[in-house]
């Protein structure tokens, strides 16, 4: 059967391959390296692909952040990777032919030798490159899996069972090609491999390109994202699947996260090819088409400056686990900075991956700006006020007399002053309630607006009025982006299995309860407060998506002005929670502080797995009698992945029990929970808002004491930028505070 298959189906490609391998082998043995180049050019793989350069990623001012550069890859023949029996037989024949002990080497010895050389390749490479052989085995498996997928796809496309050829007999071009096993080979390793393994004809070192990070700013790591080997799913879903040159091929690198993923269609190019005759003359060629560059809306200098500010703020206390800051252009909603700290070094990401993943205290891999949801706390109060005004629950002059606490439905409600042993706020009206962040005013407002109307209104600010719930692409479109939690009536029913209560309204009005938003959503909420329009933010210059500004309905200009006046007073008048903390002499900032309740996160967990294992039954007479038995395996680890590794369990093993043994950060004395996250959100300048900012310091404590001063530093950094984001004109013409602050 095998012989017939060889003759009938594989004659041409295999014979071709055989001759080529034979020639190359002889050339290498006889004349060494000087023939290598010529052999490569004229004999192997007549059609040779020309890789395109992947597009660069630039910041808004054209600074290159990531680009492709030439390098070398190590590739192996598919027959060797798949240990294909035809390939091994041909290779064995060559070994016999070239062996000095040809006369004495039997066919079966040669076949054994061929298999040994192919199978030991990974360990030998691992040794020479100081890497783990497992990595190379995983890469081999992934290539073989991709090619098998392709075989399946083509076979199905040709009519599946309807065609006469068996699927296993179908020969693919991929099977006669070299596939990349090691990318971007280090120069030292390259020469070592050439010396040690140069006599193996089934792999080659080939020119290639590599992705190079042109920025050392770790805070950009999450945003720019990474490239990785194309998955089976991506091959399947490739929109250019029918174009043989443009489509993904097994082993291709594609964007897997951040901008690299988001802009994949722009960044990826189209490969070309070249065919040469035996003399090395090009007889046919198609040039590759490089991918196009992508320009981000990010100002990388500003981003780096803000990252430094945040890092400094976080390093003050050990319990501060991380932070994030997002800066938006109010009108265009272009993201000027999107900082998430801690970050990580892209260049050593792979090497340090386990360590980064298991760093459970600070979670450096987490893209906090868009992928972490926090309770908004008091920064949501201006939006709650607008809901109260819209629904006629309060007017500008409606007052609430805050005496620090009250009892409603036998529940105790406290203003924040109560916990600081201060007297209540007294008579509070709309703007004063924002300025002083009076909880009791907002409890009362929330109760009367009610949870349903409040959530619906918040949704307009967080996801946009009349947003299509079926649309997946909202906001920036980044893969990592989370949608926040707005506890709508349906959400509460679905996830809490209950109906709204009157208390939900009170809690939602001060940003507590189930509601959670990302720092990006917080910044966008403040941009909407600044100009009255919701708009999807973007990180790409010239974003072609439909994202026109949508007005927030039902709010009069006078009502908008009340919320904005409250935010002005909060930063610029005595008694404001950000007064003197976020105040600048030469820029009028409007903003609000907030503290988000939170719990300590598990950083060490005890995992228990009950695993079926085969054991020899020593009591039985027959020594080969085996039986299975449930074995209890347990370990303490920072992550489930780590626990599986420690116990040598498969990557999908599920623990039967787990118990948190350590949390972080520690709970301070006289508290039952760790310090809350500290928020500051705002915009500037007051009269003509141009820039909105939201920032959070995890477990920072008081928004006023901790986040507001960081907010001031961030606005200073924006002012100091060479670019006039605040519309202040040149330095000498900067609007004096007095002019801008003049009351309406």
Measured distance CA(553)–CA(446) in Å, rounded: 19
Is 425 among the residues that bind Zn ion (CB under 5 A)? Answer: yes
Contact 183, 73 (CB under 8 A): yes
Shortest approach of Zn ion to residue 577 CB, angstroms? 11
Shortest approach of Zn ion to residue 403 CB, angstroms? 8
CB-based contacts of 717, cutoff 8 Å, min separation 6: 302, 305, 306, 309
Shortest approach of Zn ion to residue 413 CB, angstroms? 10
Stretch that binds Zn ion, among 102-110, 201-209, 366-374, 435-443 (CB under 5 A): 435-443
Contact 512, 375 (CB under 8 A): yes
Is 438 among the residues that bind Zn ion (CB under 5 A)? Answer: yes
C-beta of 400 vs 680, nearer to Zn ion = 400
Shortest approach of Zn ion to residue 733 CB, angstroms? 41
C-beta of 440 vs 520, nearer to Zn ion = 440
The DSSP bridge partners found for residue 696 are: 324, 679
Is 433 among the residues that bind Zn ion (CB under 5 A)? Answer: no
Is 642 among the residues that bind Zn ion (CB under 5 A)? Answer: no
Stretch that binds Zn ion, among 61-69, 260-268, 424-432, 718-726 (CB under 5 A): 424-432
Measured distance CA(509)–CA(489) in Å, rounded: 15
Is 564 among the residues that bind Zn ion (CB under 5 A)? Answer: no
Measured distance CA(51)–CA(252) in Å, rounded: 10
- 345 to each of 91, 350, 565, how far by Cα in Å? 43, 10, 43
Is 306 among the residues that bind Zn ion (CB under 5 A)? Answer: no
C-beta of 297 vs 702, nearer to Zn ion = 702
Binding mask 400-419 toward Zn ion (x if CB under 5 A, else -) reads --x------------x----
The CA-CA-CA angle for residues 341, 228, 297, to 5°, reads 50
Contact 526, 694 (CB under 8 A): yes
Shortest approach of Zn ion to residue 597 CB, angstroms? 18
Shortest approach of Zn ion to residue 451 CB, angstroms? 21
Stretch that binds Zn ion, among 4-12, 70-78, 277-285, 394-402 (CB under 5 A): 394-402
Answer for which of 20, 337, 440, 589 binds Zn ion (CB under 5 A) is: 440
Residue in the block written with tokens 């009362």: 444
Shortest approach of Zn ion to residue 571 CB, angstroms? 19
Stretch that binds Zn ion, among 425-433, 707-715, 723-731, 736-744 (CB under 5 A): 425-433
Measured distance CA(233)–CA(193) in Å, rounded: 33
Shortest approach of Zn ion to residue 444 CB, angstroms? 10
Q: Which bin fits 405, alpha (ψ -120 to 50), beta or left (φ > 0)? A: beta
Count of residues near Zn ion by CB under 5 A: 5
C-beta of 425 vs 712, nearer to Zn ion = 425
The total number of residues shown for the chain amounts to 744
The CA-CA-CA angle for residues 628, 632, 634, to 5°, reads 145
Q: What is the CA radius of gyration of the chain?
A: 32
C-beta of 62 vs 574, nearer to Zn ion = 574
Coil vs helix vs strand at 207: strand
Binding mask 33-62 toward Zn ion (x if CB under 5 A, else -) reads ------------------------------
Measured distance CA(565)–CA(130) in Å, rounded: 63
Is 506 among the residues that bind Zn ion (CB under 5 A)? Answer: no
- Name the site residues for Zn ion (rule: CB under 5 A): 402, 415, 425, 438, 440
């Amino acid at each position: 059967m095998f012989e017939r298959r060889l003759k009938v189906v594989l004659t041409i490609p295999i014979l071709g391959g055989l001759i080529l391998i034979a020639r190359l082998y002889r050339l290498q043995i006889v004349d060494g390296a000087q023939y290598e180049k010529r052999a490569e050019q004229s004999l192997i793989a007549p059609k040779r692909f020309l890789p395109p350069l992947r597009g660069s990623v630039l910041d808004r001012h054209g600074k290159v952040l990531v680009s492709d550069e030439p390098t070398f890859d190590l590739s192996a023949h598919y027959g060797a990777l798949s240990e294909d029996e035809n390939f091994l037989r041909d290779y064995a024949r060559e070994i016999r032919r070239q062996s000095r002990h040809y006369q004495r080497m039997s066919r079966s010895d040669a076949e054994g030798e061929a298999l040994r050389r192919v199978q030991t390749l990974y360990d030998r490479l691992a040794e020479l490159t100081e890497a783990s052989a497992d990595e190379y085995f995983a890469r081999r498996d992934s290539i073989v899996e991709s090619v098998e997928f392709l075989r399946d796809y083509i076979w199905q496309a040709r009519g599946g069972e309807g065609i006469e050829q068996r699927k296993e007999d179908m020969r693919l071009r991929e099977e006669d090609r070299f596939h990349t096993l090691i990318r971007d080979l280090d120069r030292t390793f390259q020469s070592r491999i050439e010396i040690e393994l140069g006599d193996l004809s089934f792999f080659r070192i080939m020119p290639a390109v590599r992705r190079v990070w042109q920025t050392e700013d770790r805070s950009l790591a999450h945003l720019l994202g990474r490239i990785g080997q194309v998955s089976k799913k991506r091959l399947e879903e490739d929109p250019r699947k029918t174009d043989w040159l443009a489509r993904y091929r097994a082993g291709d690198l594609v964007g897997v996260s951040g901008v690299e993923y988001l802009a994949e269609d722009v960044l990826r190019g189209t490969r070309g090819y070249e065919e040469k005759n035996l003399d090395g003359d090009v007889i046919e060629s198609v040039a590759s088409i490089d991918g196009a560059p992508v320009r981000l809306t990010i100002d990388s200098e500003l981003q780096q400056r803000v990252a430094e500010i945040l890092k400094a703020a976080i390093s003050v206390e050990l319990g501060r686990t991380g932070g994030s800051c997002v800066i938006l252009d109010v009108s265009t909603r272009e993201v000027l900075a999107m900082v998430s700290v801690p970050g990580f070094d892209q260049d050593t990401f792979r090497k340090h991956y386990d360590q980064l993943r298991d760093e459970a205290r600070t979670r450096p891999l987490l893209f906090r700006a868009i992928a972490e949801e926090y309770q908004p706390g008091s920064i949501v109060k201006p939006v709650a006020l607008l809901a109260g005004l819209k629904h006629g629950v309060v007017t500008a002059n409606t007052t609430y007399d805050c005496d620090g606490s009250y009892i409603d439905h036998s529940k105790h409600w406290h203003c924040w002053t109560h916990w600081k042993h201060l007297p209540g706020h007294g008579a509070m009206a709309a703007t004063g309630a924002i300025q002083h962040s009076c909880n009791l005013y907002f409890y009362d407002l929330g109760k009367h607006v009610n949870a349903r109307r409040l959530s619906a209104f918040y949704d307009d600010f967080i996801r946009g009025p009349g947003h299509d719930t079926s649309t997946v692409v909202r906001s920036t479109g980044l893969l990592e982006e989370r949608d926040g939690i707005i506890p709508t009536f349906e959400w509460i029913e679905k996830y809490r299995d209950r109906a709204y209560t009157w208390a939900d309204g009170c809690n939602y009005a001060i940003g507590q309860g189930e509601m959670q938003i990302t720092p990006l959503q917080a910044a966008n909420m403040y941009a909407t407060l600044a100009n009255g329009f919701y708009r999807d933010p973007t990180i790409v210059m010239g974003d072609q998506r439909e994202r026109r500004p949508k007005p927030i309905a039902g709010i009069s200009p006078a009502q908008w002005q009340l919320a904005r006046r409250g935010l002005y007073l909060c930063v610029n008048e005595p008694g404001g929670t950000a007064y003197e903390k976020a105040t600048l002499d030469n820029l009028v900032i409007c903003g609000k502080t907030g503290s988000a309740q939170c719990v300590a996160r598990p950083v060490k967990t005890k995992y228990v797995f009950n695993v079926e294992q085969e054991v020899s039954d020593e009591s039985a007479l027959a020594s080969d009698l085996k039986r299975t038995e449930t074995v209890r395996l347990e370990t303490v680890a920072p992550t489930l992945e780590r626990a599986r590794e420690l116990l040598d369990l498969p990557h999908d093993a599920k623990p039967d029990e787990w118990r948190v043994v350590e949390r972080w950060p520690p709970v301070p004395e006289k508290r039952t929970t760790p310090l809350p996250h500290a928020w500051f959100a705002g915009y500037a300048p007051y009269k003509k808002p141009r820039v909105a900012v939201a920032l959070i310091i995890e477990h920072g404590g008081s928004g006023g004491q901790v986040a507001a001063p960081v907010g001031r530093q961030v606005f200073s950094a924006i002012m100091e930028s060479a670019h006039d984001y605040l519309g202040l004109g040149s330095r000498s013409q900067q609007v004096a505070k007095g002019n801008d602050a003049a009351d309406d």
